[in-house]
Amino acid sequence: MRHRTRRTRFPEWIAVSAIATIACAPRAGSLAGAPTPARFPSTELPRGNQRIVFRWDYVDQALAAKGEGVARITAPDSVRMDFFLDGGLGGGYAIVIGDSISTPGGDQVRRYLPPVALLWAALGRLAVPPARDTVAKVDGGALRADIGRDPAWRVTFVGDRLTRLERIVDGRRLEWVARDSADIRYKNERSARSLTLKISSSNEAPPFDPAIWRR
């Protein structure tokens, strides 16, 4: 009987912890503006290859790190991101192809990164699962939409540019990416985890060596 009691209490503890964690995140609120058809600007990656150079800064409750980085992007859906710590203290990289992400050599770089859908949003590509219950509204120059339901993805466009993507669970904004012309910021509200990229250059590039995609 004691053994059964321990087994029933464990999942209850997990559920209480999950609820408490979600409750720490701010409420997302409802969409503002006038209803509009859910027709989004194209967010396909530019044809060919791009090379983006950036400074990065990462913070969580136990770690702070910063350095230089480079993203090598190949349309339609592939990117390799390399992170180099300041002071020559090492680094790592991640390869994202479609909705798959790998971090060869260890999980430290994975700790820095948002989930795949938010990572693609950081690079200007909308890659969330389609949903029938998408609701869109226009407010001034901004088009916002909630895609799916619990969890929902809230996307914001200004003009034809994707500027923000949020993941909403139980009406609370758990994590998000915001981007403007040169700065990209990811934040996880539950764990106080944040990654900021400051872009210094973004250019077309010749074809990359196929070796960079090896995992």
Report the alpha-carbon distance of residue 30 to residue 41 in Å, rounded.
22
Residue with tokens 């290859």: 49
Q: Are 188 and 194 in contact (CB under 8 A)?
A: yes
Residue 63 has what pLDDT?
87
Q: Whose CA is closest to 26, among 154, 129, 195, 139?
A: 154
Domains and CATH numbers, the chain: 2-213 (2.50.20)
Residue 213 has what pLDDT?
94
Tokens of 77: 């859906």
pLDDT less than 70: residues of the chain: 1-23, 105-107
Q: In this structure, how many other beta carbons lie within 10 angstroms of the beta carbon of residue 189? A: 19
Phi-psi category of residue 140: left, alpha or beta, with phi > 0 → left and psi -120 to 50 → alpha: left
pTM of the model: 0.85
Report the alpha-carbon distance of residue 207 to residue 44 in Å, rounded.
18
Tokens of 114: 């948002």
Report the alpha-carbon distance of residue 34 to residue 110 in Å, rounded.
39
